[in-house]
Amino acid sequence: MASHPDEIPRPDEIRREESGPTNRLAQESSPYLLQHRHNPVDWWPWGEEAFAEARRQNKPILLSVGYAACHWCHVMAHESFEDEAIAGLMNRLFVNIKVDREERPDVDALYQNALALLGEHGGWPLTMFLTPQGEPFWGGTYFPPSQRYGRPGFAQVLEGLAAAWRDAPDDVGKNVAAIRQGLERLAAPQPGGQLAAEAPLAAARRLLREIDPQEGGLGGAPKFPQPAVLELLWVAWLRSGEASFRHAVELTLTRMSQGGIYDHLGGGYARYATDEKWLVPHFEKMLYDNAQILTLLTRAWTEDRNPLYAARARETVEWLFREMRAEEAPGGPPSEAFAASLDADSEGEEGRFYIWGETEIDALLGPEEAGFFKAHYDVSAGGNWEGRTILNRSVRPALLDTAGEARLTDARDRLLAARAGRVRPGWDDKVLADWNGLAIAALAEAAPVFEEPEWLAAAECAFDFVATRMAEGDRLHHVWRHGRNRHAGLLDDYAQMAAAALALHQTTGRAAYLDKAEAWIATLDRHFWDGANGGYFQTADDSRDLMMRPKTGLDNATPSGNGTAAAVLARLFHLTGREAYRTRAEQLIAAFSGEVERAPFGYPTLLLASDLLRDAVQVVVAGPEQDPATRQLEEAVLRRPLPFLVLQRTATGAGLPPLHPAAGKGPLEGRPAGYLCRGATCSLPLTEPESLAEAIAASRG
């Protein structure tokens, strides 16, 4: 069968060039923009040339923002952007700009905020109408080509907005002024003092009331994984010992891991479920979701060794290594960095690659094994979604004995081999620095827990790729694809890569990773810090292509850059003892604390950074690096990861920060020793790994 027209083929497929004329997007590297290179729309990429053209013609700008794995972006593209009549209207009435939100999250964030100020729900595709100066005056998301779904037709919208621009400039100007004022307010969050010690726990208690008591997750349909919220609940359990927090996290992880949102054949979690029971996913798979869920699985597994969490962690990493290595060149060898996403669609249908019919399974497995498999994976003649089956184990979530699970594994392997012959979903193989930072940190933490040195090696290689191939001096690029760097690094790139550096430093002890984290924070201080109000802007001070510089501490599908930077600063303070890091962390948190106190649900990462700054569990391992006993103590620490634990190493007791409570404490009578410190006090020297692990477990509250 032919591939879906806008699909980015996988490496093992025959690549083909579509015929017909191309527009300016043919010169771009983004897979999403390249999907639109044959549209009859006269697209411009984001940049000054497009704005200059709008000013020259005195035309409004139509801004369309989406991403490669977005189902409704594909729908609008096929219905409207490939339609000659609609494209003709667009070209006659507007200067049209197409943006990949993953390449330019700053552009997307700015205009999503503008849409919210208009009272509309955000999402993708984002469709905004701007002045030639880039100021928004109206917008929406998906528009059908003609009126339906209670929405106006796109052609009608185009003609109406062009008429408003031509005939009602005063009304347009009023909208522009009102939206600008609103955007300026959003870019100046309410500051305050330091967050109270109990603020993270109080926020977690409020969030706990929103957890679905049967299925886990927040609220009803649609249901998103919300890793930052789950991490806040997990830390609340560690700090308070209140079992309800732990139950909420484990319930959510278990339901997700046995539900249809998880790919039971190939591994990896989809972006969200369209229902409240985690059965029907929006089938796209994102690197950032899977990185954050891997971290949660790792931490949950360390508590009671639930084999489900270990299995899902291993399967997710296998998927990352098998399917998400970005290519060095089209069809070329894999790189050491990770690609952004897999599409929801193939052959023009959402989920087609992943769903099954009963007769297919019967034919592949044979009567006896098919019956066994179908009983455990919810397979029936009528299916569980649109007449087909999304594989899941929600009805029978309990794991079987070793022999039973082995039978299911064999069946899954056979189905996976058969699935490999289907037309694959589109693949967005660009490398994003911030999303790779999330994956690197997750692998660095999981590697010692699951005793997988290959995972650590992969994390180090991916880190080296971003730190060298995507950098020029002290500056990062946001995007790399097929040998080309694009777009200046944003706050999230520096923050997530600094966090990844510290995760690698904690696992390996290598000073170079600590140095790199400090260097990237220094770059943020030079180019991103808001000297008037505190906090980091999303864009650097030499960025000139936005109407204003956004600044936020809100978490989204990924942790906020400001929240992550605050956690990095807190960890750097504990590692180095430098008061400048503590001061900057306090300033950053204070810049958003008024907002956090008003609406804590949106700020779990900042709340956790405040917790880390205030009350880290600091563990020092003192002993020669080559001594096996030293390594055993280090492994005892690394195999019980706590979000607020900071590990330091010293051969003799020297080299710790001067005011560190363990400064000067070294091996005990020649034997490597560990010290667990809270505040200004430390434990007696602990020379047995089991004793150190027990002390860590007892220190969590």
Structure tokens at 440: 């690197």
Q: Work out the average pLDDT over 282-288.
A: 96
Q: Of the candidates 138, 165, 186, which is a domain's last residue?
A: 186
pLDDT tens-digit series, residues 502-557 = 999 999 999 999 999 999 999 999 999 999 999 999 999 999 899 999 999 999 99
- Give which of 498, 501, 566 is closest to 529, Cα–Cα: 566
**CA torsion 563→566→571→576, rounded to 10°?**
160
Which residues face 349 on adjacent strands?
346
- Give which of 585, 592, 587 is closest to 612, Cα–Cα: 585
Q: Which of 4-8, 38-42, 308-312, 434-438 has the lowest mean pLDDT?
A: 4-8
User: In one letter, which amino acid is 198?
Assistant: E
CATH number at residue 459: 1.50.10.10
Is residue 54 included in any domain, yes or no? yes
Confidence category of residue 19, pLDDT binned at 50, 70, 90: low
109 pLDDT more than 70: yes
As a whole number of angstroms, the distance between CA 231 and CA 209 comes to 16
Angle value at C-alpha 400, between 399 and 403, nearest 5 degrees: 140
Same domain, yes or no: 47 and 156:
yes
Same domain, yes or no: 311 and 447:
yes
Q: Work out the average pLDDT over 2-27.
A: 52
Q: What are phi and psi of 661, to 5 degrees?
A: -60, -20
7 pLDDT more than 80: no
339 pLDDT more than 50: yes
Structure tokens at 232: 């806040």
Is residue 553 included in any domain, yes or no? yes
DSSP per-residue codes, 354-365: T-B-HHHHHHHH
Q: Of the candidates 419, 441, 463, which is a domain's last residue?
A: 419
Same domain, yes or no: 461 and 564:
yes
Same domain, yes or no: 382 and 306:
no
- Give which of 347, 379, 241 is closest to 303, Cα–Cα: 241
pLDDT tens-digit series, residues 652-696 = 989 999 999 999 999 999 999 999 999 999 999 999 999 999 999
Same domain, yes or no: 258 and 381:
no
DSSP per-residue codes, 297-354: HHHHHHHH--HHHHHHHHHHHHHHHHH-EEESSTTS-EEEEE--EE-SEETTEETTTT
Contact 112, 186 (CB under 8 A): no
Looking up tokens 């058969």 gives: 418
As a whole number of angstroms, the distance between CA 433 and CA 62 comes to 29
Which residues face 677 on adjacent strands?
618, 682
Same domain, yes or no: 49 and 174:
yes
Q: What's the number of domains the chain is made of?
A: 4
Q: How far is CA 220 from CA 207, 210, 215, 282, in A?
A: 14, 10, 9, 15
Q: Please give the helix or strand (H or E) that residue 325 lies within, else none.
A: strand 325-327
Looking at residue 1, its pLDDT comes to 25
Q: Work out the average pLDDT over 103-115.
A: 96
Looking at residue 150, its pLDDT comes to 77
As a whole number of angstroms, the distance between CA 471 and CA 477 comes to 6
Looking at residue 11, its pLDDT comes to 32
As a whole number of angstroms, the distance between CA 235 and CA 644 comes to 8
As a whole number of angstroms, the distance between CA 556 and CA 226 comes to 8
As a whole-number percent, the residues of the chain with pLDDT over 90 amount to: 92
Q: What are phi and psi of 688, to 5 degrees?
A: -105, 135
What strands lie across the sheet with 617-622, from one edge to the other? 645-650, 617-622, 673-678, 681-682
- For residue 453, count CB atoms less than 10 angstroms from its CB and return exposed for 0-12, middle for 13-18, buried for 19 or more: exposed
Scored b (16 or more CB within 10 A) or e, 640-668 reads bbbbbbbbbbbbebeebeeebbbbebbbb
As a whole number of angstroms, the distance between CA 228 and CA 700 comes to 19
Contact 526, 496 (CB under 8 A): no
Q: Please give the helix or strand (H or E) that residue 398 lies within, else none.
A: none
Same domain, yes or no: 436 and 504:
yes
Which residues face 211 on adjacent strands?
218
CATH number at residue 124: 3.40.30.10
CATH number at residue 675: 3.40.30
As a whole-number percent, the residues of the chain with pLDDT over 70 amount to: 97
Looking up tokens 């997700």 gives: 256
As a whole number of angstroms, the distance between CA 418 and CA 362 comes to 13
Is residue 222 included in any domain, yes or no? yes
Is residue 1 included in any domain, yes or no? no
pLDDT tens-digit series, residues 136-146 = 999 999 999 99
Looking up tokens 């507007």 gives: 94
Same domain, yes or no: 49 and 177:
yes
- Give which of 648, 657, 560 is closest to 609, Cα–Cα: 560
Q: Of the candidates 137, 152, 186, which is a domain's last residue?
A: 186
Q: Work out the average pLDDT over 598-611.
A: 96
Contact 151, 143 (CB under 8 A): yes
Angle at which helices 561-576 and 579-598 pack, to 10 degrees?
150
Is residue 341 included in any domain, yes or no? no
What integer best gives the mean pLDDT of the chain? 94
pLDDT tens-digit series, residues 290-306 = 999 999 999 999 999 99
Domain of 398?
354-419
Is residue 250 included in any domain, yes or no? yes
Q: Work out the average pLDDT over 156-181.
A: 96
Is residue 6 included in any domain, yes or no? no
Same domain, yes or no: 221 and 299:
yes
Q: Which of 5-19, 37-51, 249-263, 570-584 has the lowest mean pLDDT?
A: 5-19
Same domain, yes or no: 454 and 410:
no
Q: Work out the average pLDDT over 473-491.
A: 96
Q: Is 660 helix (H, G, I), strand (E, B) or coil?
A: coil
pLDDT tens-digit series, residues 453-481 = 999 999 999 999 999 999 999 999 999 99
Structure tokens at 482: 């097929």
Contact 665, 637 (CB under 8 A): no
Q: How far is CA 145 from CA 4, 47, 82, 400, in A?
A: 20, 27, 11, 51
Looking at residue 398, its pLDDT comes to 92
Same domain, yes or no: 145 and 205:
no
User: In one letter, which amino acid is 375?
Assistant: A
- In 227-306, which ranges are continuous DSSP H helix? 227-240, 243-258, 287-304
14 pLDDT more than 60: no
Q: What are phi and psi of 138, to 5 degrees?
A: -170, 160
- In 94-226, which ranges are continuous DSSP H helix? 105-117, 154-167, 169-186, 199-208
Please enumerate in sequence order all residues whose Cβ is within 8 A of that of 573, keeping only pairs 6 or more positions apart, or say none. 579, 581, 582, 585, 613
437 pLDDT more than 80: yes
Ranges of beta strands (E only) in 67-108 are 95-100
pLDDT tens-digit series, residues 70-85 = 889 999 999 999 999 9
Looking at residue 443, its pLDDT comes to 98
As a whole number of angstroms, the distance between CA 283 and CA 609 comes to 32
As a whole number of angstroms, the distance between CA 38 and CA 34 comes to 8
Same domain, yes or no: 95 and 36:
yes
User: In one letter, which amino acid is 152?
Assistant: P
- Give which of 137, 68, 126 is closest to 97, Cα–Cα: 126
Looking at residue 600, its pLDDT comes to 93
Contact 95, 64 (CB under 8 A): no
Structure tokens at 321: 């290594």
- In 259-306, which ranges are continuous DSSP H helix? 287-304
Neighbours of 148 (CB within 10 A): 9
Cis peptide before 152 (omega within 30 of 0): no
Contact 698, 641 (CB under 8 A): no
Contact 292, 227 (CB under 8 A): yes
DSSP per-residue codes, 552-580: -----SS--HHHHHHHHHHHHHHHH--HH
Structure tokens at 659: 């005011």
Handedness of CA 393, 398, 404, 410 (dihedral sign): positive
User: In one letter, which amino acid is 213?
Assistant: P
Handedness of CA 70, 75, 76, 78 (dihedral sign): positive
572 pLDDT more than 70: yes
